[in-house]
């Protein structure tokens, strides 16, 4: 069962360690993506990830709107990424070595997209295993797979792939709408 951020946060504030792990699992990809898109090395991205969660924990009593946790995490991760980038840049300049990747702040549209991606990933995780796998193969696979190859991978008949796809996308849409994302496309 998918729990709202507000419900998870109430449990976090009550000292429930399992709720904290649930929250981290839910948004770990979002925080990592912000760090990596800011041009951080893998080591700095790991530091950014850790510091973002430490900061949330340290400020847990001050968070006003638990439904905005994802936005808070994006903003905090971005600020931490900028701080780490500046530190790395100073280190590189001190050593007179190569150039640092573009570390300018992420555009607002990119941040909104990252937040949407995190919510979509959370919704896909609520699907049953077959539907989640189908959605991943249809939309997130590194290759552009044909329906024949997807049906083969899922071990289902090619003719049943279309109806199964329709049902799975309908379930995904329902999860997103119930989670408060009414801007989901009307046609599946």
**pLDDT tens per residue, range 55-103:** 998 888 888 888 889 889 998 999 999 888 887 666 555 555 455 555 5
User: Rounded mean pLDDT of the chain?
Assistant: 82
What is the pLDDT at residue 86?
82
What span, in angstroms and rounded, lies between the C-alpha atoms of 63 and 72?
9
Task: Give tens-digit pLDDT for 115-125.
Answer: 777 778 888 88
Selected residue with higher pLDDT from 77 and 108:
77
User: Could you tell me which residues come within 8 angstroms of residue 8 by beta carbon, excluding any fewer than 6 positions away?
Assistant: 19, 22, 23, 26, 66
What is the pLDDT at residue 109?
66
What is the pLDDT at residue 57?
87
Q: How confident is the model at residue 187 (pLDDT cuts 50, 70, 90)?
A: very low
What is the pLDDT at residue 52?
93
Once rounded to an integer, what is the mean pLDDT over residues 12-17? Answer: 89
Name the least confident of 21-35, 100-114, 144-158: 100-114
Task: Give tens-digit pLDDT for 129-153.
Answer: 999 888 888 887 666 778 888 888 8
Give the CA distances from residue 40 to residues 36, 44, 180, in Å, rounded to whole numbers and listed in that order: 5, 6, 32
Model's pTM, two decimal places? 0.52
Question: Residue 25's Cα: distance from chain center in Å?
Answer: 9
> By C-alpha distance, which of 162, 184, 161 is closest to 173?
184
* Rg of the chain, C-alpha, whole Å: 20
For the chain, give the percent of residues with pLDDT over 90.
Answer: 23
């Amino acid at each position: 069962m998918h729990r709202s951020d507000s419900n998870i946060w109430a449990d976090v504030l009550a000292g429930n360690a399992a709720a904290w792990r649930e929250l981290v699992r839910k948004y770990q990809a979002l925080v990592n993506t912000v760090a990596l898109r800011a041009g951080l090395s893998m080591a700095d991205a790991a530091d950014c990830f850790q510091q973002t969660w430490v900061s949330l924990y340290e400020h847990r009593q001050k968070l006003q709107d638990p439904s905005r946790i994802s936005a808070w995490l994006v903003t905090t991760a971005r600020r931490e990424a900028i701080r780490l980038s500046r530190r790395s840049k100073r280190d590189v300049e001190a050593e007179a070595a190569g150039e640092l990747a573009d570390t300018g702040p992420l555009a607002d549209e990119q941040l909104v997209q990252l937040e949407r991606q995190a919510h979509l990933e959370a919704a896909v995780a609520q699907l049953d295993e077959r539907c989640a796998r189908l959605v991943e193969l249809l939309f997130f696979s590194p290759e552009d797979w044909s329906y024949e190859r997807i049906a083969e991978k899922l071990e289902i008949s090619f003719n049943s792939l279309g109806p199964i796809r329709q049902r799975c996308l309908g379930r995904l849409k329902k999860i997103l709408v119930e989670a408060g994302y009414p801007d989901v496309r009307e046609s599946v």
